[in-house]
Structure 1
Amino acid sequence: MRSLDEVRDRLDTVDYLADEGLAMAVFLALRLGKPLLLEGEPGVGKTASAKALALALDTPLIRLQCYEGLTAGEALYEWNYQRQLLAIRLAEARGQELADADLFGAEYLQERPILRAVRHPGPRPPVLLIDEIDRADDEFEALLFEFLGEAAITIPELGTFAAARPPVVVLTSNRSRDLHDALRRRCLYHWIEFPSPERAAAIVRRSVPGAAEPLIRSTTDFVGRARSLDLDKSPGLAETIDWVSALAALGVTDLVDPVVPGTLGTIAKTPDDRLAVAALLGDPT
């Protein structure tokens, strides 16, 4: 994408409304060939932005979902031990001897998301989403340093694989823990704020086209007010879309409908949050 306006327009065509800050971050990441680290509260659209970017670029999305205990074998590459064992048995049956080099060749290599992104044949580089990097262990971050800095992976038995066309890398974090400075230095950075009620309404309008306009305006305004409460988990844009979808499916057109309290489980995810949100719903101020 050649300009900031083109980034915004291309994302708009796939129904992702990026604000100026996010559009700038994406443009610079593409222009400079740098990974982009997106942080923000859950539900503000971090993961959705990477999915939308892949659609806008008309290129595959490769996703690595992070979690505690994630290993290099699950994220980078792994050896096909069953095929290696079969090769050993066949060689023994034939009276042959196998050297280590015979067992650790490319034919025994299993690509995981990051190596798959590095070796992607094209014609366009893929978008690699490393989702919720803060859920992985500190040690896992160190495995990413070479890839994030050089778009390459070193496999001791085979050497270094460098991407002919470096993938577009998007990392997301909910800030459940601090990320290592070395990882941050390798990335461009952008914090995604909760959208304003007006912008949230524009996004919901795209996502739930069958919803009544008064319902969209009242729900997005209400969710904005709910975020000012002391909640365990503030409702994000994803929860807002779920709520409007549920209300629209029930034929609700405004929040005074008596069925609305029964739908609060779409935006309130704990018993205490549900009580607090229900109290706000019953408060006309």
Structure 2
Amino acid sequence: MDLHRGSLAVTPEVRELHDGLERHGYVADPAIATALFLATDLRKPLLIEGDAGVGKTETAKVLAAALGTELIRLQCYEGLDAATALYEWNYPRQMLRIRLAEQAGREATETESAIFGRDYLLERPLLRAITRVEGPPVLLIDEVDRADDGFEAFLLELLSDFQVTIPELGTIRAVHVPYVVLTSNRTREIGDALRRRCLYLYIEHPDFEKEVRILRRRVPEASGELAGEVARFVQALRRRRLAKVPGVAESIDWTQALVRLRRAHLDEEGVTATLGCLLKDRHDLQELSPGTLGPMLAEARKGSPS
């Protein structure tokens, strides 16, 4: 279900969530607020895709803050397996218990029963998300595209039933069904089965007005003029062929650096000295020669007082 495109009627419930996101420093548009509301109201996982740096992870973090609940994050990576994401046994504590039991002369069966109890279980993010008793958390499954097909299949099963089976303990069912957000940078295509299980949201790089709002919200020390110049410059950069297009996170970092260096406006010296906050690839840095910077700076300064 694509909730990013088209005009959306904002209901009071969506408006309430939108305002909650704004209070926690997140500049949301109706499409994002509506997607998050439906995901929480229908208890459907929300798959968020978009380029790196557009704020996918931040969306889940701010949702947890707006709902007043815990954020539980599972960072995906190549080779991640179900056992690592679910639980492991506290091996050092188990060995200590075995040694103490041997010294006390206890039966081996009694010791084995004890050391494979819940007290010796180390919960990893997925198990923690379904055993939390204080209320439903926000479960962030970050960069799911980095995991392999096998883990994706396991996720599909977990998100359908919200229960897991631990051989020594049996089946554990969710105390509260968590709010689930999955993010993907599209380094690998997500399978159709998992996509169908989720609502869908695609977040693009913000337009000029939204980026200025974000910069003013996240870097309040920056003047409106500086925020506007940074946004125009970054918007122009994103139209170029770059290996790593700067996202909102880089825009914020750059603005903070400029404020720290007491730069009220963009100029060639300041931009050249701080481009490492914005561009993270050597070839991209070389792309911006002095001859290229001049016109871009002139464009960025449009609308700013001299």
Q: TM-score, normalised by structure 2?
A: 0.87
Matching residue of 1:117: 129
Range 138-147 or range 98-107, more displaced:
98-107
Gaps of 5+ in 2: 1-10, 300-306
Contact 2:93–2:120 at 8 Å: present in 1 too? yes
Query: Residue 180 of structure 2: SS of its match in structure 1?
Result: strand
Contact 2:268–2:293 at 8 Å: present in 1 too? no
Residue identity in the other structure for 2:121: L
Residues 116-156 of structure 1: per-residue CA shift (max 9 Å, x gap):
1111111x311111111112222222221222112222222
Using the alignment, how far apart are the partners of 2:164 and 2:45 within structure 1? 15
Shift of 1:90: 4.0
Identical residues among aligned pairs (%)? 51
Range 56-65 or range 255-264, more displaced:
255-264
Matching residue of 1:141: 152
Matching residue of 1:250: 261
Using the alignment, how far apart are the partners of 1:216 and 1:196 within structure 2? 13
Query: Residue 68 of structure 1: SS of its match in structure 2?
Result: coil
Contact 1:141–1:183 at 8 Å: present in 2 too? yes
Contact 2:136–2:176 at 8 Å: present in 1 too? yes
Using the alignment, how far apart are the partners of 1:237 and 1:75 within structure 2? 29
Using the alignment, how far apart are the partners of 1:128 and 1:182 within structure 2? 20
Range 209-218 or range 252-261, more displaced:
252-261
Shift of 1:91: 4.1
Cα distance change, pair 2–106 in 1 and its aligned pair in 2 (3 A): farther
Once the two structures are superposed, the pairs formed by residues 68-107 of structure 1 within 5 Å of their partners are 68-93=78-103, 94=105, 96-98=107-109, 101-107=113-119
Using the alignment, how far apart are the partners of 2:63 and 2:69 within structure 1? 9
Query: Residue 242 of structure 1: SS of its match in structure 2?
Result: helix
Cα distance change, pair 214–2 in 1 and its aligned pair in 2 (3 A): closer
Query: Residue 187 of structure 2: SS of its match in structure 1?
Result: coil
Matching residue of 1:262: 273
Residues 138-197 of structure 1: per-residue CA shift (max 9 Å, x gap):
222222122211222222222221212111111111111111222222211111011001
Residue identity in the other structure for 2:266: L
Matching residue of 2:75: 65
Matching residue of 1:196: 207
Matching residue of 1:3: 13
Residues 99-121 of structure 1: per-residue CA shift (max 9 Å, x gap):
76554322222111111111111
Using the alignment, how far apart are the partners of 2:225 and 2:268 within structure 1? 13
Once the two structures are superposed, the pairs formed by residues 21-60 of structure 1 within 5 Å of their partners are 21-60=31-70
Gaps of 5+ in 1: none
Matching residue of 2:218: 207
Residues 173-224 of structure 1: per-residue CA shift (max 9 Å, x gap):
1111111222222211111011001101001100000012111101101111
Residues matched between the structures, number? 284
Using the alignment, how far apart are the partners of 1:186 and 1:159 within structure 2? 26
Once the two structures are superposed, the pairs formed by residues 170-181 of structure 1 within 5 Å of their partners are 170-181=181-192
Using the alignment, how far apart are the partners of 2:209 and 2:61 within structure 1? 23
Aligned CA RMSD, in angstroms, stands at 1.9
Using the alignment, how far apart are the partners of 1:21 and 1:35 within structure 2? 16
